[in-house]
Structure 1
Amino acid sequence: MSENRLVATCLLGLEGLVADELRRMDIKNVEPQNGRVLFSGNQSEIARANICSRYSERILIEMGSFRALSFTELFDNVKKLPWEQWIGKDDAFPVTGRTLNSKLSSIPDCQSIIKKAIVERLKTKYRISWFEESASSVKVKFLIMKDVASIMIDTSGVGLHKRGYRENAASAPIKETLAAAMADLSHIRPFSRVIDPFCGSGTILIESALKALNIAPGLRRRFIAEKWSCADQNAWRTERERAQDLIDRSAEFQAYGYDIDPQAIELTNESAKKAGVAARIHTEVRSIADFSSDLPKAAIICNPPYGERLLDIQQAQDIYRTMGEKFLKREGYSYCIISPDDKFEEIFGRPADKRRKLYNGMIKCQVYMYFKR
């Protein structure tokens, strides 16, 4: 099968990380855009990106992109696309999507027109007039923005941040893809030591361990494209074997998680076990007021509780003040802290050496990095 234009969607601010990791996977024609990264590939690259991407939210096949000012234009252009490459005659193909600032503003009407166009195309290709849609599901997605329609197929199914290890979670957990990004920004390596003094469900610790050991985040889950009638099972098997072979079992990585809530510590241990990194993660019930470390080097990475999530603003700022007292400038130590509070640096007690704007769900945050002595 010829190469396709593929799309990795991501949280705003992570486009560069996604582009870099795709290039490291030997994927070609990588092109970062706003909230997504385009690249080229066939089913092997689809499998590789789904299994191995730490920072992407979803991998899509871009079937086509075109201007659509009328339902006739939408229908005609969708019908031209090679749907038979991906949709079998028994496959279900639900259509979902959204429109923004476009003449075609009715989502139900757009869904109906796109569905009808795909049916008409497949009628001609399969020489049948009725589709049972009783087999695997090939999910068609559309985005019509400023009158330009992008028509895509979802290959991931459940979002890629769902690694499979976090069935239960503490209150307001950080998204796995964002935790992985913080580990990357902290330059976590196979020999690193990581501390999270607000470990919650253990997401930052686990994502740091997966990165340090080079464990692909999607190794323990399945993807919707694997179930398609056209799926190349050999490609998926080969990519899983490739990811398995790349695991660095000699890595010396260790992580330490503290939390004032005993239930959070239990959740961390449970999730670490499911992720296969329990031997690398050590936990203890401990308040930030009692924070200390005798490690010669460590990266402190954390998502402290804040007013919009768990506490009132005053309580959150009291925690920031305590962090500033405990997170001292030390040789071999770095601090990576995410917060939506614009006054964080003032309350923490010193300006960050570097800042990066990211989103934790729908909340705009800054990642504050301290590493200078």
Structure 2
Amino acid sequence: MATITFIAPVVFGVESVTARELRKLGYEDISVKDGKVEFVGNEEAICRSNIWLRSAERVLIKLGEFHADTYDELFERTKALPWEEWIPENGQFPVKGYSLKSQLHSVPDCQSIIKKAIVERLKISYKKNWFEEDGPLYRVQFSLMKDEATLMIDTSGVGLHKRGYREKSNIAPLKETLAAALVLLTKWKSDKPFLDPFCGSGTIPIEAALIGTNTAPGLRRRFVSEKWPQIPKKMWNSARTEARSLIKNEKLEIRGSDIDKDAVALSEENSRRAQVSEHIIFEQADVKDIEPFGDYGCIVCNPPYGERMGEEHEVEEIYRKMGKAFKRFDTWSKYILTPHKNFEYFFGEKADKNRKLYNGMIKCYYYQYFSR
């Protein structure tokens, strides 16, 4: 099998989580950078990483990396890469990407140059002048950062946050990948109780159930590289068989609550789609009324932001109610994601640890309170 360098783009702040996931999958040659994790594997890694990674946004093949501050340089260095090793004669290869702090700042121009360079390379390889592009999809992605170009091919297709269970969601839902990262950043063990008192569409409890049962998040969805001739169908079947064999059938004690009864109904529907409903109890409740169920559990939540509620003082009042209610959970660990810089003041307690994360474009803080 070939040795392939991969890039797993991630939300800023969770790089170490994704790196830990990759090590658990058996990949050791790992490099952590801002917003991405690089690792080395083979064709089988395309299947396993797409099926198993919980916190990564997608899995990309890294074709090359080089300096480019002129269009000529971008063209020639792109053309020199072995595109024919991946893109077949009938392959579709649209190009998309971004440019930051680079001389080549026009993204449309870069797209055009890269596309033309790939075509010229394939003309030589396949000895033809025209490509129908009616076969499998090999989406080319590029990044230009401070004149350093990275060229990649996407193996995932639809982003990895699309597990397949959340056809509907409420306003401003948390991405499944970030929800999984929030759980993975805690010290929660599957034999302990787990609670999200602001469950919304149920994403955090559902991701906790998938983690607790060791269910691969991509087990029940499809990926664009499944149609690639380089990856035999039996390789995908083998990866899915492995994932099914590793599911734990133990009973979990996970609960989610929300003041909105429609959110509770939506959470229940999503948990059924994710096939984890037997592990989660959802109920309608105000955060001020929540009570512990067992000792040494874990609360993970993403309470309303000011942008959602309209008035910041309403959100701050929720934080005050949380502080009073959470005092009843003295043996529990609590993890709260919010963009509010003064959360600790309204909550009434300084966090043991604080971590910066991004929920989309919103800079947030992950306040962590460890059990006493």
CA distance in 2, matches of 1:34, 1:189: 28
Aligned to 1:138: 138
Quote how far apart the aligned CAs of 1:72 are.
1.4
Aligned to 1:184: 184
Farther-moved stretch of structure 1 (351-360 vs 179-188): 179-188
User: 1:215, 1:246 within 8 Å by CA — same for their partners in 2?
Assistant: yes
Moved over 3 A (4+): 329-332
Q: Name the amino acid aligned to 1:105.
A: H
Supply the RMSD in Å over aligned alpha carbons: 1.3
Q: Name the amino acid aligned to 2:123.
A: K
Q: Name the amino acid aligned to 2:116.
A: K
CA distance in 2, matches of 1:267, 1:65: 44
Aligned to 1:257: 256
Q: Name the amino acid aligned to 1:102.
A: S
Quote how far apart the aligned CAs of 1:331 are.
5.1
CA distance in 2, matches of 1:296, 1:151: 50
Q: Secondary structure at the match of 2:72?
A: helix
CA distance in 2, matches of 1:229, 1:92: 13
Q: Secondary structure at the match of 1:50?
A: helix
Quote how far apart the aligned CAs of 1:296 are.
3.0
Quote how far apart the aligned CAs of 1:101 are.
1.6
Pairing 1:192-271 to 2, within 5 Å after superposition = 192-249=192-249, 251-271=250-270
Deviations, residues 3-56 of structure 1 (Å, cap 9, x unaligned):
111101100000101111101100131111111011111211111111100110
Farther-moved stretch of structure 1 (205-214 vs 120-129): 120-129
Pairing 1:296-311 to 2, within 5 Å after superposition = 296-311=295-310
Q: Secondary structure at the match of 2:59?
A: strand
User: 1:306, 1:312 within 8 Å by CA — same for their partners in 2?
Assistant: no
CA distance in 1, matches of 2:264, 2:34: 37
Deviations, residues 205-226 of structure 1 (Å, cap 9, x unaligned):
0000001110011111111111
- Gaps of at least 5 residues in structure 1 are none
CA distance in 2, matches of 1:239, 1:157: 18
Quote how far apart the aligned CAs of 1:88 are.
0.7
User: 1:46, 1:155 within 8 Å by CA — same for their partners in 2?
Assistant: yes
Identity of aligned residues (%): 48
The change in CA–CA distance for 1:294 and 1:74 in structure 2 (over 3 A counts) is closer
User: 1:299, 1:333 within 8 Å by CA — same for their partners in 2?
Assistant: yes
Deviations, residues 220-275 of structure 1 (Å, cap 9, x unaligned):
111111122333222211111111111111x2312111111111011100100011
User: 1:298, 1:334 within 8 Å by CA — same for their partners in 2?
Assistant: yes
Aligned to 2:65: 65
Aligned to 1:153: 153
CA distance in 2, matches of 1:330, 1:44: 44
TM-score (norm 1): 0.97
Quote how far apart the aligned CAs of 1:189 are.
2.3
Pairing 1:1-373 to 2, within 5 Å after superposition = 1-249=1-249, 251-328=250-327, 330=329, 332-373=331-372
Quote how far apart the aligned CAs of 1:97 are.
1.1
CA distance in 1, matches of 2:68, 2:289: 60
Farther-moved stretch of structure 1 (230-239 vs 88-97): 230-239
CA distance in 2, matches of 1:122, 1:254: 55
Quote how far apart the aligned CAs of 1:77 are.
0.9
Deviations, residues 68-88 of structure 1 (Å, cap 9, x unaligned):
121111111111111111111
User: 1:320, 1:348 within 8 Å by CA — same for their partners in 2?
Assistant: yes
Q: Secondary structure at the match of 1:189?
A: coil
Farther-moved stretch of structure 1 (341-350 vs 221-230): 221-230
Aligned residues: 372
Quote how far apart the aligned CAs of 1:188 are.
2.6
Q: Name the amino acid aligned to 1:275.
A: A
User: 1:91, 1:229 within 8 Å by CA — same for their partners in 2?
Assistant: no
CA distance in 1, matches of 2:171, 2:267: 13
Q: Secondary structure at the match of 2:26?
A: coil
Q: Name the amino acid aligned to 1:369.
A: Q
Q: Name the amino acid aligned to 1:111.
A: Q
CA distance in 2, matches of 1:353, 1:318: 22
Q: Name the amino acid aligned to 2:8.
A: A
CA distance in 1, matches of 2:196, 2:226: 36
The change in CA–CA distance for 1:263 and 1:67 in structure 2 (over 3 A counts) is same
Q: Name the amino acid aligned to 1:212.
A: G
Q: Secondary structure at the match of 1:324?
A: helix
User: 2:165, 2:271 within 8 Å by CA — same for their partners in 1?
Assistant: yes
Q: Name the amino acid aligned to 1:20.
A: R
CA distance in 2, matches of 1:309, 1:227: 41
CA distance in 1, matches of 2:237, 2:43: 11
